[in-house]
Chains A and B, each alone.
Chain A
Amino acid sequence: MTEEVKNDGQRSSAFVVSPQKRKMQKLAKNAGETLLLGIASFVAIVVLFIFYFVAVDAIPYFQLRGFTEFFTSTGWYPAGEPGEFGALAIIYGSAMVTFGSALLAVPMGIAAAVCLSDILPFSVRQYAKPIIEMLAAIPSVAFGFFALVILAPLLQSNGGPLLMWTWWVLAAPFLLLAVIVAADLLSARFAREENRRKMALLLQSLFGILAVLVLYVVGTKLNAIEIITGTNALNVSIILSFMALPTIVSVAEDALQSVGRELREGSYALGATRAETLLKTVLPAASSGILAAVILGIMRALGETMVVWMASGNSSHIPDPWFNYLEAVRTLTATIAGDMGEADQVTGSARYHVLFAMGLLLLVISFFSNLVSERIVVRQRKILSGQ
């Protein structure tokens, strides 16, 4: 046994140290950990600072002008004498392009996520992933440039035909499917066993003619549309949907992956097709994770600056009719970016502070969206791990 008698008379073997040394060790360890904690807390401090400093510059605006004008008026003349600071049309513009991009990106994103997690073989998936990563990596200003220099002139010169072709390509397959399914369902319901085939055929041809009619009529209507300005809500919505897609796909795919194999196998074992398994079993099980993906994707679109600044037309008004995506709009982010250049010379004015008020609005929305999506993800993880 390796024991030695120390000066202080305490017995001590190789691994026992003197109280002083132990104390020092503890102290050093605590000091080190505190330092680490300090650095890790940096992020939290930054978040607090962001809220504080944006709010501090936003509050003077509301003190000067109150809330009513900002949220209810559409008059935006910050440079006027006296200025008008109605942000309603701008908030509406933000909502509009965000909604438009979500309309395009959400179904596509979920479909792509399902495809990646359940349909594509691994070898193909390997190539699909970098595509998504590249799409996510392209700087927003490059997208904005594309929207402004290529897409906008194209929409302006050939908007009608472009819309028509898109309509045909997208709507034709779906209508065809709807015809088949509707005919099948109706014949199964109303015809007797032996007549079903004939009935289905009849209904199919009937609905088919109807569908072609719809396609044609809507198509010609779209073809006749003249787009006055290529920098409009539609342009921006399309580009923003490209930018939101990668987020939606990757988060939704994670959610789908976290749904176990057992669930899928259980469904297949009952004779369900892949689509049925995915739609009825997997997607519902992953629904909260997918919801989180959608929220994050939408936030990406809402918070985007450069694309909307360059290609939305920056016209502060509510389109007429209100759902007209072919008109120019103006968003919160673009307003902040565009007006600060002129406003920062008059630091302290309502004109300066109103931009911070807009920033605060964005910040609060993003904060709560994040909170919600995080809660959702945590909840799903708990449910899936069976707690």
Chain B
Amino acid sequence: MQMTAEHKESKATGPATATRDIYIPSERVAVSGGGTPHVVAKDFSIYYGDFEAVKKVNAEILSKYVTAIIGPSGCGKSTFLRAINRMNDLIPSCHTSGILQFDGEDIYGKLTDEVLLRKKIGMVFQKPNPFPKSIFDNIAYGPRLHGMTDKKQLEEIVERSLRKAALWDEVSDRLERNALGLSGGQQQRLCVARTLAVEPEILLLDEPTSALDPKATAKIEDLIQELRGSYTIMIVTHNMQQASRVSDYTMFFYEGVLVEYAQTAQLFTNPKDRMTEDYITGRFS
């Protein structure tokens, strides 16, 4: 990956430097085949009307690792995350400038088919949002969309996805039941499974545990650990313990600016920026 001068000067100490020199915390293992820039932002800004919610972000998100996004509420975490699979298209006033690339192609390019893009970049939302259908139909929704009709194949995918999401054992005997009957934590894992069933490359998680109790939260965190190495994962969280537990890299946003971006252990133990330090030590919410 070629580095531009502009890149180096940017405020965020992007892992542009880290690409070559991945810091591996003792309990973490490097993932094979990972570490290439999967999503790249260059001077990428996001606006709601005239309001610049995310300001000139320069960063590279590395494949197969878990990247956490932290920052006070309203700082643009969700906005940035949703920009990656163009979920912001739903908001009429929202538009972008600069460059955001996925696999070296412009996400906001003229030729981008956002439907195909979203198939590659799955998303799990803050509140579990299963469809009011059976568990099976929920998981099979994506594969069916993309043209799979064979019952056998669908069953296989459903089982595989549920196993990956560590939900299989709990629901294998009631796949025909309405998904709304599951507990909150189960619903959220179902949503992960549903996303996995379309076989995405990137998994975007926007505060996936904020609506869950501690036990369910722990299960989701375990799940993220399981999936690490197979998917590029980005997780927005307002819980710093969670960020430090599950992620390899952490981005700290403040008022739309990517203030600091570094290996998680480093960012939490030895932040370069005063603002980051204040935030993680709880000076402001």
The answer to whether B110 and A22 have CB atoms under 8 Å apart is yes
Which residue on chain B has the smallest CB distance to residue A26? Answer: B110
Q: Is the interface of A mostly helix, strand, loop or mixed?
A: mixed
Q: Known: A1-B103, A1-B104, A3-B103. Is A15-B113 also a contact (CB below 8 A)? A: yes
Cβ distance B99 to chain A, nearest Cβ, rounded Å? 14
Q: Is the CB of A15 within 8 A of B110?
A: no
* Smallest CB separation, A30 vs chain B (Å): 15
For the complex, is A25 an interface residue (Cβ under 8 Å from B)?
yes
**Interface residue A5 (Cβ < 8 Å from any Cβ of B):** no
Query: Which residues of chain B from 24 to 72 have a CB within 8 Å of any chain A CB?
Result: 36
Bitwise interface map of A from 1 to 41 toward B, beta carbon under 8 Å scored 1, else 0: 11100000001111111110110010000000000000000
Number of interface residues of A (CB under 8 A): 15
Q: A22 CB to closest chain B CB, in angstroms?
A: 5
CA distance A16 to B117 in the complex (A): 8
A18 to B105, CA, bound (A): 13
Q: Report how many A-B pairs have Cβ atoms within 8 Å.
A: 44
Q: How far is the CA of A2 from the CA of B119 in the complex (A)?
A: 14
B90 on the interface (CB 8 Å rule)?
no
Contact at A15–B104, with CB atoms within 8 Å? no
Would A22 and B103 count as touching, CB distance under 8 A? no
Selected from B36, B111, B119, the residue in CB contact (under 8 A) with A16 is B111
Q: In residues 90-117 of chain B, which contact A (Cβ within 8 Å)?
A: 102-106, 109-114, 116-117
- Bound Cα distance from A257 to B119, whole angstroms: 43
Cα of A18 to Cα of B119 in the assembled complex, Å: 18
Contact across chains for A19 and B103 when beta carbons are under 8 A apart: no
Task: List chain B residues, Cβ under 8 A from A2.
Answer: 103
Binding site for A on B (CB under 8 A): 36, 102-106, 109-114, 116-117, 119-120
Binding site for B on A (CB under 8 A): 1-3, 11-19, 21-22, 25
7 cross-chain pairs, A with B, having the tightest CB-CB distances, nearest first? A15-B117, A15-B116, A13-B103, A13-B105, A17-B113, A16-B105, A22-B111
The 21 sampled A-B contact pairs (Cβ below 8 Å) are: A1-B36, A1-B103, A2-B103, A11-B104, A11-B105, A13-B103, A14-B103, A15-B102, A15-B105, A15-B112, A15-B113, A15-B117, A15-B119, A16-B106, A16-B109, A16-B111, A16-B112, A17-B111, A17-B113, A22-B110, A22-B111
